[in-house]
Amino acid sequence: MTVIVTGGAGFIGSNFIFYMLKRYPDYRIICLDKLTYAGNFSTLASVMDNPRFRFVRADICDRKAVYNLFEEEHPDIVVNFAAESHVDRSIENPCLFLKTNIIGTATIMDACREYGIIRYHQVSTDEVYGDLPLDRPDLLFTEETPIRTSSPYSSSKAAADLLVLAYHRTYGLPVTISRCSNNYGPYHFPEKLIPLMIINALSDKPLPVYGEGINVRDWLYVEDHCKAIDLIIHKGRAGEVYNIGGRNEMRNIDVVKMICDALGKPYTLIRFVTDRKGHDLRYAIDATKIHNELGWFPETKFADGIKKTVQWYLDNREWWETIISGEYQNYYEKMYGNI
Ligand code: NAD
Ligand code: TYD
């Protein structure tokens, strides 16, 4: 089998590449990635010499480059992780999100139609369902929950999902979609909550918590997510959507306090800052469908996953120090310069 993984130099895509190379010793994995600010070539250093791995730098919106790669590799499976993925950046620059997340998805699927594939898998997000109220813990997102987005990011992901389902119905493309909750783990780019807090706490810098810190996210350890995608691409039914969640809802403030505890840092580092515009209150996933159909469930408890994650950031300082010394500094200054 030959698998093209787009966005494989990013957080989840790179973890998926490591997982697949290990799990399937006879698979070839091709990473197609533009290496935007969020993509790190160094993340893939450990697999660059693997004869079953190939890295290609290209934009998923570049039809010629995408078709050339399909012509050379004739992939059996394509897993699309490539995206602009940060809500705060989407609030600043929506159009870039529309281009990459929608046009890029269509371009990759057109190549799949042209060359033929066994499975196209779209990595989507629970954010397409909008948010849930804080005072209704009984409500969860199912695959039947209507699409009702809040941010330019989630709107672009929702548009891509609709397009994926349209390609299934119109052209018979064998697609699947997964909608997962917030991931955490190694190689997470430090603009996102958990790595940002770990890295700031390590340098005794303020920990910026939006609003009152009461927004709730359902945290999923990245390796559990990779296992779910593996099951879906091999055993999931074409044309179907699968929710993937961590069964682990936490308020942001409690996550930040756990990180402080893990690092022995005082809560006085915490600063409540201006809330994000349109900030979704709560995400919570009902993952019954993937559990019943494919036997998947999240194996990693948050207490263990967060310890492993904190340890990874302690052991891999060079990886994140290189990131935060670059373009990231301008972003950080713009977002958090006044705290
Ligand atoms: P990330 O931002 O860490 O990585 C994105 C990768 O895509 C980077 O390597 C980047 O270089 C690449 N990329 C961006 N634009 C590209 C383009 N035009 N052409 C080719 N490559 C391009 O993202 P992530 O957190 O790993 O998320 C991966 C996928 O999972 C995304 O589709 C995201 O929407 C989805 N998702 C993420 C989470 C999460 O918690 N991180 C939750 C739900 C869904
Ligand atoms: P984030 O990691 O950006 O993921 P998402 O917005 O996709 O859920 O944010 C997770 C939560 O943490 C979200 O409610 C926003 C909040 N947050 C902060 O409070 N401070 C921060 O500096 C960041 C980046 C996020």
Please report how many Cα atoms fall inside a 13 Å half-sphere around the Cα of residue 262, on the Cβ side. Answer: 25
The answer to whether the CB of 339 falls within 8 A of the CB of 217 is no
| Per-residue pLDDT tens over the stretch 306-329 | 999 999 999 999 999 999 998 888
- Work out the number of other CB atoms within 10 angstroms of the CB of residue 19: 18
pTM of the model: 0.98
Domain boundaries, the chain: 2-188+220-249+281-300
CA 12 to ligand 1 centroid distance, Å: 7
Atom of ligand 2 nearest to the CA of 255: 12
| β-pair type (77-80, 216-221) | unpaired
Nearest ligand atom owner, CA of 32:
1
Nearest ligand atom owner, CA of 206:
2
Rounded-to-integer distance, Cα 320 and Cα 202, Å:
12
Output the ligand 2 site: residues, CB below 6 A. 87, 182, 192-193, 196, 208-210, 215, 217, 252, 276
**Amino acid found at 164:** V
pLDDT at 90 over 90: yes
CA 276 to ligand 2 centroid distance, Å: 9
pLDDT at 338 over 90: no
In this structure, what token pair is assigned to residue 89? Answer: 């950046």
Which residues does residue 77 pair with via DSSP β-bridges, in sequence order?
Answer: 3, 119
Q: Which helix (H) or strand (E) holds 196?
A: helix 193-202
135 assigned to active site: no
| β-pair type (216-221, 249-251) | antiparallel
CA 158 to ligand 1 centroid distance, Å: 15
The catalytic position among 59, 127, 191, 280 is: 127
Rounded-to-integer distance, Cα 147 and Cα 126, Å:
10
Atom of ligand 1 nearest to the CA of 40: 9
pLDDT of residue 310: 98
Atom of ligand 1 nearest to the CA of 100: 18
110 assigned to active site: no
DSSP structural state of residue 52: T
pLDDT at 330 over 90: no
The answer to whether the CB of 9 falls within 8 A of the CB of 31 is yes
Rounded-to-integer distance, Cα 10 and Cα 260, Å:
26
Nearest ligand atom owner, CA of 183:
1
100 alpha carbon, distance to own chain's centre? 14
The catalytic position among 153, 184, 187, 242 is: 153
- Work out the number of other CB atoms within 10 angstroms of the CB of residue 62: 15
pLDDT of residue 329: 86
The answer to whether the CB of 9 falls within 8 A of the CB of 220 is no
If DSSP codes are grouped into helix, strand and coil, which group holds residue 262? helix
CATH fourth-level superfamily of 2-188+220-249+281-300: NAD(P)-binding Rossmann-like Domain (3.40.50.720)
DSSP structural state of residue 290: H
The catalytic position among 126, 131, 161, 223 is: 126
Atom of ligand 2 nearest to the CA of 192: 2
| Per-residue pLDDT tens over the stretch 177-206 | 999 999 999 999 999 999 999 999 999 999
Q: Name residues whose C-beta falls within 8 Å of residue 209's C-beta, 6 or more positions apart in sequence.
A: 252, 253, 256, 270, 271, 272, 273
Q: Can you say whether the dihedral through the CA atoms of 95, 3, 182, 210 is positive or negative?
A: negative
The answer to whether the CB of 140 falls within 8 A of the CB of 285 is yes
Protein residue with least CA distance to atom 23, ligand 2: 193
In this structure, what token pair is assigned to residue 283? Answer: 């995400």
pLDDT of residue 290: 98
| Per-residue pLDDT tens over the stretch 96-155 | 999 999 999 999 999 999 999 999 999 999 999 999 999 999 999 999 999 999 999 999
Output the ligand 1 site: residues, CB below 6 A. 6-7, 9-13, 33-36, 38-39, 59-61, 81-85, 100, 104, 123, 125, 157, 180, 182-183, 189
In this structure, what token pair is assigned to residue 257? Answer: 């306090």
% pLDDT > 70, the chain: 100
330 or 21: which leads in pLDDT: 21
pLDDT of residue 326: 83
127 assigned to active site: yes
Query: Which residue among 6, 66, 81 is best mutated to probe the pocket of ligand 1, counting the most ligand atoms within 8 A of its Cβ?
Result: 81
Rounded-to-integer distance, Cα 59 and Cα 94, Å:
18
Nearest ligand atom owner, CA of 197:
2
CA-based nearest residue to 199, from 269, 290, 293: 269
pLDDT at 248 over 90: yes
CA-based nearest residue to 296, from 234, 249, 250, 238: 234
Mean pLDDT for 215-239 is 98
- Rounded to a whole number of angstroms, the distance between the first and last alpha carbons of the chain is 50
Q: Name residues whose C-beta falls within 8 Å of residue 234's C-beta, 6 or more positions apart in sequence.
A: none
Protein residue with least CA distance to atom 17, ligand 1: 59
| Per-residue pLDDT tens over the stretch 17-61 | 999 999 999 999 999 999 999 999 999 999 999 999 999 999 999
The answer to whether the CB of 195 falls within 8 A of the CB of 86 is no
